[in-house]
Structure 1
């Protein structure tokens, strides 16, 4: 009997050791960014073209559980001429730009402190300011918040937010950057450089041929663009109503364009590009993505599509003349397609070129 008990005990010990040595399944990589002062962003990145992003960039006008609230106001005006350049930087809050016909720029700002006591709120107001200056042809309004890492009193978080309203002509060169908050600007004629991190960008018609836009961990809604260079990564996507020539670099996010009327280049990784109506040459480099293009009924173009571990689907308006599938390539993951989009002669020399890996390409 003792021998039998020892044998059973040995077998149980062996089974436990085997189970302990088995490797658990690898978890999906998760990137989590949470900022307690403004937006809260959680991005789950998985292999393949699918992206799961939940982002909340709503600006809180009132804090329900932090009272009392202390406020201080700022206002400053500079005269300017058409050659002056405007530089705006803000963090934790928002920038709203309104255009007018005056030859001056005016910034009204409200600095809000959220805390449980007047004393704590005042301490927060004391470390927040806006530096306004004019040097040569550059006018700057820069938010300065000291000791952001020490926004704690009695172990509880506190907040400062700065809400800027900017009045200025629509023709001056404009550089505006917002961290942890939003930028809102209507129609604008001057050259722009607009940057948003952990927030949203909303614009009217950006009419200049020189626009630079960067969005990280955020979103953008743009009515129209003349020409622009756009860099975006990790967010809920960019939507553009209509545009001329564009250069877009996008990672882990989606881009949607209504009407595209100029020559465009897109480099896309782990995302989705949708263009409803293409009317000019288009070059796309894609990895782990989905590309869906519709074309203007009068658009005529050659096409050249190369896929590696992907697919190419097309509608009646697309004529694929040749698929490079010789015997030597029969078992290859690479596919090449050439042909035409639309009917008639391609007298303008337009072309649509796609190079893709692990992606789905759709021409409607």
Structure 2
């Protein structure tokens, strides 16, 4: 997702080397790829390198471009930054390159790289305008390529661009706005991933916390992860000891391989595709949601439900054996078995929705 952000620069461009005799209004689109043919393109490359000792952490702060992290064996972090600018004239395109400043420093034992667009210091929020002539548009983006060794924690703050993370075993603190995340295998119980207004593709995440808002999530495998999802869609192909809270969206868990807990509110739907034989316990709380549960692979449920204003639908009635609870709101049934032994214990609490077991 490449955000089309339009910044109108007037007299402020005088501070960046445009000594215009008359006032002119320059429209600058930041982080955009579709460049009109009439524009001149220039690139500027910057490289910063810092030696790493011990377990010094690395911090990347960027906007309007991509951040790609790569792993090597050298005891140093190297950041290659490419700045791309487009404008109708040589003078303007050079001025846009010059407004980008990259700060590189070591603070309190942390190696910090930061993108500073100096034009944003001027009333940025008041300079957005999406209806300008394409012939007058100017474009700017800042892309990072980060090389670092394993064994160092990493913090990435990025907006209006994509983030690429390889297999990463150290702590990863990622805050991503208006862009996509492409991650390989993430494994650290102290990692925190925040995704807002974009998409996330993760091959596997073991340990840590994942928070998503207005984001489409696809995770091949989640293990020992605490997850929240608000106003977005989430699909997990394999869930193992996942504690998930989701609301105002939809969810699909393809397979539950170990005990999990799901809290679902105001979701269009929440579907569990398959519950594997090794699952001991499954807890589900739902509100204003259509919930769909499958039969276990082994076909044995010890299902307890506490429902209010909820339709409970059991598709395979011959396999259902009811157990008296003495409470009309609570139902308990054995599905696919007549004994509690080795049955997956499923606890469902639902209000204002539908629970379907099939």
TM bracket (short chain): 0.7 to 0.9
SS in 2 for 1:125: helix
CA–CA distance in structure 2, aligned partners of residues 146 and 36 of structure 1: 16
1:294 Cα deviation (Å)? 3.5
Q: Secondary structure at the match of 1:184?
A: strand
Query: Are residues 1:68 and 2:48 paired?
Result: no
1:288 counterpart (263, 266, 269): 266
In structure 1, distance between residues paired with 2:335 and 2:281? 6
**Residues 263, 286 of structure 2: 8 Å contact kept:** no
Mapped to 2, the partners of 1:342 and 1:74 lie a distance apart of 65
Q: Secondary structure at the match of 1:299?
A: coil
d(CA) in 2 for partners of 1:180, 1:224: 24
Q: Which of these two proteins has the greater Rg computed from alpha carbons? A: 1
Structure 1 residues 322, 79: closer, same or farther in 2, change over 3 A?
closer
Contact 1:83 1:137 (C-alpha < 8 Å) held by counterparts? no
Q: In structure 1, what is the equivalent of residue 107 of structure 2?
A: 135
Q: For 2:178 and 2:137, how far apart are their aligned partners in 1?
A: 19
Distance 2:76 2:64 in 1: 26
Distance of aligned partners of 1:362 and 1:158 in 2 relative to their CA distance in 1, 3 Å threshold: farther
Task: Select 2:72's aligned residue among 100, 103, 113.
Answer: 100
Instruction: Identify the residue that residue 18 of structure 2 maps to in structure 1.
Output: none
What is the root-mean-square deviation in Å for CA atoms of aligned residues? 3.2
Instruction: Report the CA distance shift for 1:207/1:106 in structure 2 as closer, same or farther (over 3 A).
Output: same
TM-score (norm: length of structure 2): 0.74
Work out whether 1:269 is the aligned partner of 2:251: no
Instruction: Check 1:93–1:304 CA distance in 2 against 1; reply closer, same or farther (3 A cut).
Output: closer
The answer (yes or no) to whether the contact 2:240–2:260 under 8 Å persists in 1 is no
* Distance (Å, rounded) in 2 between the aligned partners of 1:287 and 1:132: 44
- The CA deviation at 1:300 is 3.6
Number of equivalent positions:
302
Runs of 4+ in 1 over 6 A off after TM superposition: 340-344
**Could you tell me which residue of structure 2 aligns to residue 180 of structure 1?**
160
Report the more deviating stretch, 61-70 or 194-203: 61-70
Which residue matches 2:56?
Answer: 84
**Cα distance, 1:269 vs. partner?**
1.1
* Residue of structure 1 in register with 2:28 after alignment: none
Instruction: After TM superposition, give the deviation of residue 241 of structure 1 in Å.
Output: 0.8
Task: Describe how 1:141-160 pairs up with structure 2 within 5 A.
Answer: 141-148=113-120, 149=124, 156-160=136-140
Partner of residue 276 from structure 2, selected from 297, 300, 304:
297
Corresponding residue of 1:258: 237
In structure 2, the CA distance between the partners of 1:352 and 1:157, relative to structure 1 (3 Å rule), is farther
* Structure 2: gaps spanning 5 or more residues: 8-30, 312-328
Alignment of 1:239 with 2:211, yes or no, is: no
- Given candidates 224, 228, 252, the residue that maps to 1:249 is 228
- Deviations 1:195-217 (Å, cap 9, x if unpaired)? 21111000111122222111111
Q: 2-side partners of 1:303 and 1:140: how far apart?
A: 43
Query: Hey, what's the Cα distance between the residues in 1 that align with 2:44 and 2:237?
Result: 42
In the alignment, which residue of structure 2 is the partner of 1:170?
150
Whether the 8 Å contact between 2:261 and 2:282 is mirrored in structure 1 is no
Deviation at 1:101, TM superposition (A): 0.6
8 Å Cα contact 1:191-1:210 kept in structure 2: yes
TM-score by length of structure 1 reads: 0.73
User: Does structure 2 conserve the Cα–Cα contact (< 8 Å) formed by 1:288 and 1:358?
Assistant: no
SS of match in other structure, 1:160: strand
- 1:118 and 2:90 matched: yes
Please list the CA deviations of residues 210-256 of structure 1 after superposition, one character each: whole Å capped at 9, or x if unmatched: 22111111000001111121111113x11111121111111111111
Question: What are the ranges of 5 or more consecutive residues in structure 1 without an aligned counterpart?
Answer: 1-32, 39-58
Report deviation, 1:140.
0.6
Quote the offset at 1:76 in angstroms: 0.8
In the alignment, the residues of structure 2 paired with residue 116 and residue 98 of structure 1 have an alpha-carbon distance, to the nearest angstrom, of: 35
| 3-state SS of 1:277 partner | coil
The answer to whether the 8 A contact 2:35-2:139 is kept is no
CA 310–136 in structure 1, closer or farther in 2 if over 3 Å, else same: closer
Distance 1:162 1:216 in 2: 20
Kindly tell me: are residues 179 and 274 of structure 1, through their superposed partners in 2, closer, same or farther at Cα, counting changes over 3 Å? same
